[in-house]
Structure 1
Amino acid sequence: MARKVILFITQTLDGYIANSDGKIDFLWNDKFSTGSVVDREYEKLSKRVNTVIMGRHTYNQIVNGMSPNDYPYAGYENYVMTTHPLPDEDNIHFVNGEVAKLVSDLKAKSSKGDIWIIGGSNVIAPLVNADLIDIYHIGIVPIILGKGIPLFSDRVIPKELSLESAKKVNEIVYVEYSH
């Protein structure tokens, strides 16, 4: 069975993944996640993926801000897209190249795990345009920013997707689309 490429990401109600300064701390508001239902969406994803692909900005945000002492994706094979590569560190590979080619190559390799796409439009837009994202799993938090960094940039070619599921978990709505 072919590996799936999954965009698993959270955005605001008005479609932003970060504020204008690139900060994402508003996405982890306890009011969204607390309630009568245990949110297991991340847990389900983590059981099916073994590869993570992200951009350099997202990587820097994780290692310098969100989790500087404990890299949260250490158990996965990591690919960081960057124009200024560093030497590889254990299972973290810094790649200067086209993300669509990397994903195509990884999809062609036999593996028991799927591929998780994390990050912004420099990674997402080329994959959308090349029809390489199989599953769009998007969490929507009840915040309206009015401005910020959008999930999908103006570089994305219009796509029609099929709704696979929609569910409410406390104050977060998760929608899943396929192409």
Structure 2
Amino acid sequence: MNADDLYEDNIYGNGNPTYYADEKCEIPYTGHVEVIYNGKLEEEFDIVDGLRNGIQKEYENGILTEIDETRGNRTSGFGVSYYPSGAFKAISITYDDNLISAYFYSEDGHNVKKFGVPERFKDIVKTKPDGIFALVSIADLEKMNEEILKYGHPLNLPKGFEFVVPEK
């Protein structure tokens, strides 16, 4: 379904609306949505009961640049970003639209920058039974890898990659 064929209401603080199948905005839409601009696919995502839930993909000039998981209109889970060349740009974990942990790469894959757990999340990470793994567990890695492989970009993590668990 093209996003232009749906009706929107209740825009969240992050800019994502609730999608409806009817003009009165009484029947929440469930299905796959594509955003086409100037004849090119810009974005596609899954909607459940009007909200983004599932895999969301972004494109620049028709080239896949990002794959993220969404839950309840918010980015939550595992994400992968690509350079236009197809090389990894970043892999990340988000929770409720907040970046939790990420690795950023130069296009040649040699320069790696790590983004650790922000201060405001350290208490959450410490209080959860399995620390950061509780946050990581929300990611549907199998589904993400399936989507990544559709586009010929296997999820081969760089040598030395690991999710860092903060000390309790």
What TM-score results when the alignment is normalised by the length of structure 1? 0.24
Decide which structure has greater strand share.
2
> Larger Rg: 1 or 2?
2
What TM-score results when the alignment is normalised by the length of structure 2? 0.25
- Identify which of structures 1 and 2 has the higher relative contact order when contacts are C-alpha pairs closer than 8 Å and 6+ apart: 1
Decide which structure has greater helix share.
1
